[in-house]
Chains A and B, each alone.
Chain A
Amino acid sequence: MTEQRQVDQAWFARRRRAKAAFVYAFLGAMALAVVGPFIYAVFSAFKVNPLEWPPSLNIPRLWPPNWVSAWNLGIQAGNNGWLGGWAPGRALSLDVVFFYPPGVEGDLRVEILRPTGRGTYQPPDPQPVTHVEIENVEEHHGPEGYEKTFRITLRNLGTQTYPVLPLAVVGPPNSRFLRATLAPNSVRGLGTTAYWDNLVSGVLGYIFSYFIQAWTEFRDRLGNPIFPRWVRNSFIIAIGKVIVALLFAPLAGYALARLRFPGRNLLFFLVMFTMMVPQQVTFISNYVLLRDGLFGISRLFGRDSLLNSYWALFLPALVSSLGVIMMKQFFESIPVELEEAARIDGAGIFRIYTRIILPMAKPALAVLAILTFQGSWNEFFWPLVVLRDMEMFTLPIGLLFFRQYYGAAGGANWNLILSGTVISAIPVIIVFVLFQRHFVEGFRLSGIK
C-alpha cells in the first residue's frame, strides 16, 4: 500500500476544470437535442422529400454550385439571375446525362409539366409556346454501357414572359438519369424521368421554391393565396391583443394592488382560481355567447353571430389572469411613498396612474406585451373552436389544415408543410431573440410553461 501523497492546489484545479468541461459538454448535448429537431426541420424545408430514407443532409437547394446554375439559367432566360422569368425570343439550354445499359436505344423525350402540391403533374398555365431541340453532344463508353450527354435547348416562341418553365425529361425504358447542369427536383419512373419544377426560377426562386409554393399555391374560392391571409390574421390578432392587454391589464393590476375597495381579496382569489379551471369548462358557454351575438347586441350592428370573426378572439378574454397577476405583483413591488406624495399634492387617482405609475411600469409592460404577443401567436384551442372559414384561420389552425391537405397518405408534400412551419415560427423567433431577457423574466413570473 502506497502512502497518500500530498497533492497541490493545481491538481484539484485541474479536476475542477475537467468537471466543468463535462458540465458544459452535457449542457451542449442537451441544447443540441432540444434545438436539433427544429434546425433539421428548417433544412428539410429545402428538401424535395423530407421523408426520404435514409435521412440525409444532401440538399441540392442548399448546394452552391446549383445556385450558380440557377443564376445562369435565369440570365439566359431573361437577364434576371435573382428572380428568373422567361422572356419572349430567349433560349436556354440544359445539359443532362443519362446512362444507357447495353441494348438500350432511343432518344430523350421532353415534356413541359408542372408539379401540383399533391404529387401529380399537369401542364402549366399559361402553357409556354416553345421550340425544343435535343442534341446528343457527348458519349462515354464504359464496360457496363455508356453515358450520353444531351443538350436540351428551349426557345420561347410566344409573345409574353412566362414566370414558370417546368420540365420533365424522359429517357427510354431501362435508361437511368445521372446528372444535369441543375439538379432536378425529383427523379421518378424507376430512374428514367427527371423533373424540374421551374427552370427559370432564378437563384432566389430556386432556393426558396417550397417556401414560395407554400406561400402562394394554396388558394381560396376566389383564387387568392390563403397562406398570406393566415399570416395577416395572426398579426392583426396578436397586435390587437397586445394593445388590449397593455390598456386593461395594468388598470386591473393597479386597482388590485393599491386601491381599497370591498371584496378586493375575493376578486384576486377569483383571478387565481381562473388559472386552474380548464378552458374546456368555459368555452362551451362562450361559444354560445358569440353565436348569439353577445346577448343579441351584435344584431344592432347587423350581425347575427360573432363566431368566425376577429371579435370572437378578442371579446371573451379581454384581460388575461396571468397579465393581471403579473402587473399586480409589479405594482406591489414599487414603493408607495411616491403615490402618497402625489396624493398630498392633490393629484387624483387617474392622474397618479397615468403620470407616475405607468411611466415606471415600462419594463413590466414590455414583458406583458411580449408574452401576450407570443401567447396570441401560438394560441390553439380557442381559435380552433371559433374559426370556421379558411380565410379566417390563424397560422396554427392553418398549419394543421396544411398537414391534412399536403400530408395525406398519398402525396406527402412535407416540404410545403415544413416551409409553412418555418415561416410561421419566424416572428416569434425574432421577438425571442430581441427580448430574451423579458421572456425569461416572464417565465419566472408565470411559474413555468
Chain B
Amino acid sequence: MSWLRGPRRNELFWAFLFLLPLLWTLGVAFAYAFFRALWWSFCDYDLFASPKFVGLANYAKLFADLHFLKALFHSLSFAVIVTFTQTFLALLLAIALNQKIRGLTFFRAAFYTPSILSSVIVGLIFIWFTYRRGVVNFLLTVARNYYPYFLSFLGLVIVMQSTLVLWGRKRGFPVRAFDPVYLWISLFVGGVGAFFLGHFRLIQPKSMPPVDIIWLETAEKFLGIPRPLWAIMALNIGTTVPTMMLFFLAGLQDVPRELYEVAELDGASWWAKLWYVTIPALRPVMFLVITLGLIGTLQMFDQAAITSGVAPLDSVITLAYYVYWNMFGAGGLPRVGMAAAAAIFLAVLTLVVVLIQRRVGIGEKAW
C-alpha cells in the first residue's frame, strides 16, 4: 500500500495549509483563551501583577456578590420569558396566517430591518422612545384618552357582526362567528360609527394628564423583575417575533397536504389537526428556534450595555454584562478572576440549559 502514501501525505499537507487560519483562531483565540480563562477563574489577577492561585475562592465570592446574583436572576428570567413568549407568539401568528402569501419579499424585508441594523441603532432609538416624554408614553396617553372611541368602535363591531351572522344563518348560509366578509363590513361600520359619534360630540376624548411611566431610569420592579428589563424584553420579543414567524410559516408550507386530508377523512377536529399534524411537523424548526433563542438570550450583552448608560446598573445587569463590568466598568483595577469565573459559569449554564432543553425534548433534533 505504499503507493497510497504519496497522495495521502500530499492531501494531509494541503489540509493543514488550508486549515491554518482556522487552527490559529481555534487554537489561540479560542482554546488557549478558554483554558486561560479557566485558569484565571481560580486566580487572583488584576492584569498587572502575576496571577495568584486561590482555588475556588472566586466562585465562592461570586455567590456572595449581590450584583452577580442579580445578573444571574436577570439572565435566567430574560432567557426563559423571552424565548418562551417569542416562540409561542410566532407559532400562534404563523398558524393564524398560514396560507400562500404572495409578495412575501416585501414583508420579509420589513421584518428583517431590526436584525440587519446594529444593536446600538436599535438601542438608541429604544432609549429615545422610552423617555419620560417619549413616543411610548405618548401612544399610551393617546390610548388612554381615546378609550371611549375604542370602546364604541368595539361595541359597534360586535353588534354589527352578530347581527350579520344571525341574519346570514337565518337565510341558511353556513356562516361562522368570525365570517371574514362580514367582519370587514363590521369593521368598516364600527370605524365610521365611532367617527360620527365623535363628530357629533356624543363621545369625547378624555383629557387626562400624560402617562408618566419612567421606563429606564428607575429601579422599580414588577413581579420581581426590574421595569427596565421588562422594557428590554418587550423590545427583544417585538423585534424577533416577525422573523421567527417567517421561519414557522416556511415550515408550515412544507407540511404535506395529504396529512391534513387523511386527518380530515378520520374526522379530526381543527384542534386535533393542529395538535397531531401541524405541531409535530414544526418540531425541527421549533428545536432550532428554541436552542438558538436560549443561547442568544442567556448571553444577552448589547442591550444591557447600551441601556446601562441610562438605567441603573442593578436594573439591567446580566451575566454577560457582569463579566465586562468586572473587567472595565467597576472602577479600580480589573477583577479578572471574578470576570473569568462568571464567564465560565455563563458558559456552563448555557451548556446545561441547552442539554436540559434537548432532554425535555421540546422539538426534535434538526441537525
Interface residues, chain A, CB within 8 Å of chain B?
2-5, 7, 11, 14-15, 18-24, 26-28, 30-31, 33-35, 37-38, 40-41, 44, 50-51, 53-55, 247-248, 251-252, 254-256, 259-261, 267, 270-271, 274-289, 291, 315-319, 324, 348-350, 353, 374, 377-381, 384-385, 395-397, 399-400, 403-404, 407, 414, 417-418, 421, 424-425, 428-429, 432-433, 436, 439-440, 443, 447-449
Considering the complex, give the chain B residue whose CB is closest to the CB of A294.
B28
Interface residues, chain B, CB within 8 Å of chain A?
8, 10-12, 14-16, 18-19, 21-22, 24-26, 28-34, 36-37, 40, 47, 96-97, 99, 101, 105-121, 124-125, 127-129, 131, 133-135, 138, 141, 169-174, 179-181, 183-184, 210, 238-239, 242-244, 247, 288-289, 292-293, 295, 299, 301-302, 305-306, 309, 319-320, 323-324, 327-328, 336, 339-340, 342-344, 346-347, 350-351, 354
Main secondary structure of the interface of B (DSSP, over half): helix
Query: Judging by beta carbons under 8 Å apart, are A284 and B336 in contact?
Result: yes
Query: Judging by beta carbons under 8 Å apart, are A448 and B247 in contact?
Result: yes
Residue B26 contacts which of A14, A274, A403 (CB distance < 8 angstroms)?
Answer: A274
Report the minimal beta-carbon distance from A259 to chain B, rounded to whole angstroms: 4
Residue A432 contacts which of B36, B99, B112, B173 (CB distance < 8 angstroms)?
Answer: B112
Residue B118 contacts which of A348, A378, A404 (CB distance < 8 angstroms)?
Answer: A378
Query: Judging by beta carbons under 8 Å apart, are A51 and B134 in contact?
Result: yes
Report the minimal beta-carbon distance from B346 to chain A, rounded to whole angstroms: 5
- Which residues from B are CB-within-8-Å of A51? 128, 131, 133-134
Q: How far is the CA of A50 from the CA of B125 in the complex (A)?
A: 11
Q: How far is the CA of A443 from the CA of B121 in the complex (A)?
A: 20
Q: How far is the CA of A432 from the CA of B105 in the complex (A)?
A: 12
Q: How far is the CA of A315 from the CA of B33 in the complex (A)?
A: 13
Query: Judging by beta carbons under 8 Å apart, are B15 and A276 in contact?
Result: no
Query: Judging by beta carbons under 8 Å apart, are A316 and B25 in contact?
Result: yes
Query: Judging by beta carbons under 8 Å apart, are A27 and B171 in contact?
Result: no
- Which residues from B are CB-within-8-Å of A284? 33, 36-37, 40, 323, 327, 336, 339-340, 343
10 residue pairs of the A-B complex, CB under 8 angstroms, read A260-B8, A274-B26, A276-B295, A276-B347, A282-B33, A318-B29, A399-B121, A400-B306, A417-B124, A439-B116
Query: Judging by beta carbons under 8 Å apart, are B117 and A255 in contact?
Result: no
- Which residues from B are CB-within-8-Å of A315? 29
**Given A261-B11, A317-B29, A319-B21, does the pair A425, B302 have CB atoms closer than 8 Å?**
no
**Given A27-B107, A38-B113, A447-B288, does the pair A270, B26 have CB atoms closer than 8 Å?**
yes
How many residue-residue contacts, CB under 8 A, span A and B? 296
Report the minimal beta-carbon distance from A290 to chain B, rounded to whole angstroms: 10
Considering the complex, give the chain B residue whose CB is closest to the CB of A377.
B118
Considering the complex, give the chain B residue whose CB is closest to the CB of A37.
B125
Report the minimal beta-carbon distance from A440 to chain B, rounded to whole angstroms: 6
Considering the complex, give the chain B residue whose CB is closest to the CB of A50.
B128
Q: How far is the CA of A449 from the CA of B122 in the complex (A)?
A: 14
Considering the complex, give the chain B residue whose CB is closest to the CB of A397.
B120
Residue B28 contacts which of A254, A289, A381, A421 (CB distance < 8 angstroms)?
Answer: A289
Q: How far is the CA of A275 from the CA of B111 in the complex (A)?
A: 25
Report the minimal beta-carbon distance from B178 to chain A, rounded to whole angstroms: 9
Q: How far is the CA of A278 from the CA of B324 in the complex (A)?
A: 12
- Which residues from B are CB-within-8-Å of A377? 118
**Given A3-B172, A261-B12, A282-B30, does the pair A18, B181 have CB atoms closer than 8 Å?**
yes
Q: How far is the CA of A379 from the CA of B324 in the complex (A)?
A: 16
Query: Judging by beta carbons under 8 Å apart, are B21 and A428 in contact?
Result: no
Considering the complex, give the chain A residue whose CB is closest to the CB of B32.
A285
Known: A7-B174, A318-B29. 9 other contacts (CB 8 A): A30-B242, A34-B114, A34-B242, A51-B131, A267-B19, A274-B30, A281-B347, A318-B24, A429-B117
- Which residues from A are CB-within-8-Å of B327? 284, 287, 385
Query: Judging by beta carbons under 8 Å apart, are B21 and A251 in contact?
Result: yes
- Which residues from A are CB-within-8-Å of B99? 19-20, 23
Q: How far is the CA of A256 from the CA of B14 in the complex (A)?
A: 12
